[in-house]
């Protein structure tokens, strides 16, 4: 999942969504689902990224909208177009930094260039990131990964963080998580364990799932890197060593974490999804679940006061939900008196909220305030002079 403007784009393995025929990718405008032309033809889509005003799509496929496209393609809002010859194998992750689009996965050739599991597109040509990332040996999930794989990409300024299953990056001994600065590879301090399936950047922090030995069991935790050192957020993911973190999304100061095989985050009940507010974990209501099979969350996208959740489940918050659901992120409206005026503020992530007022509590009387909100730190602020003895305010989604 990813947001492009105010629209949500969802991709994966499906042929219909919301009753609309759509091959593996679709757009939600807040009211309706629409297909992106004739969609993507092939096995599946695994990655979405907005890059220089276009939606870039990666996965395992050969065609998009009737255009030959080898595992990576772009959509400009009207039509599909290839990125040169594409890449020769599955793309699991896409990332954008300036004029560069990065693609990571099982690929070993990008365009006509050899590239070990990660490559960059400059708008005209593909090129390798030095000698890329490689693994000496190993088999995982029944699939040979002797040459390594990239699962996740995240940007912090001009730095690209790369997560996956590998032993070397640019010929340097680095395990599963590395940093590319545009010219060379380097280690991201020392982080134990699992190959990260997802990464997230929040300000100066990088978040990743890590594993550590606790007595006779390996447990999964969320690590945070500040540029120099790693620290672990309190509590482990789930109760068992099989817990997997498959999705992360940042919204202001909140980090949302989701996956499968966990019903708790630390000591807090959290069915497959949880929120970290910078201090503590909390669940999202009763989370997501499935009455017929193990449930999992595979993708998250946050936008303003909305968090979109996708995966395998049939309930969200106890309500029917067929693999897709939406969580309303609380955005409190604060009001302070300033003489005869009122200063109203709410979290700056709520840029898709509109402030309305009325003098009388009648449903048809609510009107949006004519002046726009002004950013002030992590808040949006409006000062409103009272138009009568009393006035009521509310935030409403656009």
Q: 145 vs 221, which has greater pLDDT?
A: 221
Pairwise CA distance, residues 254 & 223, whole Å: 15
The pairing of beta strand 244-251 with beta strand 230-232? unpaired
**DSSP result, 324-378:** EEEEE---PPEEEEETTEEEEEEETT-TTEEEEEESS--GGG-EE-SSPPEEETT
pLDDT attached to residue 338: 83
Pairwise CA distance, residues 166 & 347, whole Å: 40
- Helix, strand, or coil here: 224? strand
* CA nearest neighbour of 25 among 58, 52, 53, 50: 58
Q: Is the pLDDT of residue 145 over 50?
A: no
In tens, the pLDDT along 161-211 reads 999 999 999 999 999 999 999 999 999 876 656 678 899 999 999 999 876
pLDDT attached to residue 141: 52
Pairwise CA distance, residues 55 & 101, whole Å: 11
**DSSP result, 83-138:** -TT-BSS-EEEEEEETTEEEEEES-SEETTEE-SSEEEE-SS-EEE-TT-EE-SS-
Pairwise CA distance, residues 139 & 317, whole Å: 37
* CA nearest neighbour of 316 among 295, 343, 336: 295
pLDDT attached to residue 209: 85
In tens, the pLDDT along 101-133 reads 999 999 999 999 999 999 999 999 999 999 999
- Helix, strand, or coil here: 257? strand
Task: Answer whether 107's CB lies under 8 Å from 91's CB.
Answer: yes
Domain 2-328 superfamily per CATH: YVTN repeat-like/Quinoprotein amine dehydrogenase (2.130.10.10)
Task: Answer whether 129's CB lies under 8 Å from 159's CB.
Answer: no
Looking at every residue in the chain, the average pLDDT score rounds to 91
Neighbour tally for 21: CB within 10 Å: 12
CA dihedral for 312, 313, 317, 319, sign (positive or negative)? positive
pLDDT attached to residue 72: 98
Pairwise CA distance, residues 311 & 300, whole Å: 9
Q: Is the pLDDT of residue 82 over 50?
A: yes
Domain boundaries, the chain: 2-328, 334-397
Least confident of 47-56, 59-68, 140-149, 236-245: 140-149
- Give phi and psi for 363, each to the nearest 5: -50, -35
pLDDT attached to residue 144: 47
């Amino acid at each position: 999942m990813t947001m492009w403007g105010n629209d949500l784009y969802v991709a994966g393995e499906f042929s219909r969504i919301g009753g609309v025929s759509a091959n593996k990718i679709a757009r939600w405008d807040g009211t309706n689902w629409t297909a992106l032309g004739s969609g993507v033809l092939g096995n599946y889509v695994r990655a979405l990224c907005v890059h220089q005003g276009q939606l870039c799509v990666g996965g395992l496929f050969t065609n998009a909208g009737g255009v030959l496209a080898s595992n990576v393609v772009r959509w400009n809002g009207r039509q599909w177009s290839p990125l040169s010859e594409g890449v020769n194998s599955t793309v699991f992750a896409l990332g954008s930094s300036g004029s560069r689009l990065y693609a990571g996965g099982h690929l070993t050739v990008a365009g006509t260039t050899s590239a070990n599991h990660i490559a960059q597109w400059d708008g005209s040509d593909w090129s390798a990131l030095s000698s890329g990332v490689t693994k000496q040996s190993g088999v995982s999930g029944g699939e040979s990964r002797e040459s390594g794989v990239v699962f996740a990409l995240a940007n912090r300024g001009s730095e690209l963080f790369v997560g996956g299953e590998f032993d070397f990056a640019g010929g340097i001994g680095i395990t599963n998580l590395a940093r590319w600065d545009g010219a060379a590879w380097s280690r991201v301090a020392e982080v134990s364990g699992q190959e990260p399936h997802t990464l997230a950047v929040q300000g100066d922090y990088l978040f990743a799932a890590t594993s550590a030995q606790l007595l006779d069991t390996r447990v999964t935790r969320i690590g945070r890197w500040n540029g120099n050192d790693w620290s672990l957020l309190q509590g482990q993911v789930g109760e068992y060593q099989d817990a997997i973190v498959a999705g992360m999304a940042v919204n202001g100061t909140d980090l949302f974490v989701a996956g499968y095989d966990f019903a708790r985050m630390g000591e807090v009940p959290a069915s497959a999804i949880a929120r970290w507010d910078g201090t503590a974990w909390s669940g999202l209501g009763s989370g997501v679940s499935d009455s017929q099979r193990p449930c999992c969350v595979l993708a998250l996208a946050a936008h303003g006061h909305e968090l979109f959740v996708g995966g395998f489940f049939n309930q969200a918050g106890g309500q029917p939900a067929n693999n897709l659901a939406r969580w309303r992120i609380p955005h409190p409206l604060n009001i302070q008196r300033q003489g005869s005026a009122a200063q109203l503020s709410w979290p700056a992530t709520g840029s898709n909220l509109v402030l309305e007022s009325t003098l009388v509590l009648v449903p048809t009387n609510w009107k949006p305030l004519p002046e726009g909100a002004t950013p002030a730190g992590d808040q949006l602020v409006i000062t409103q002079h009272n138009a009568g003895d009393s006035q009521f305010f509310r935030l409403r989604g656009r």
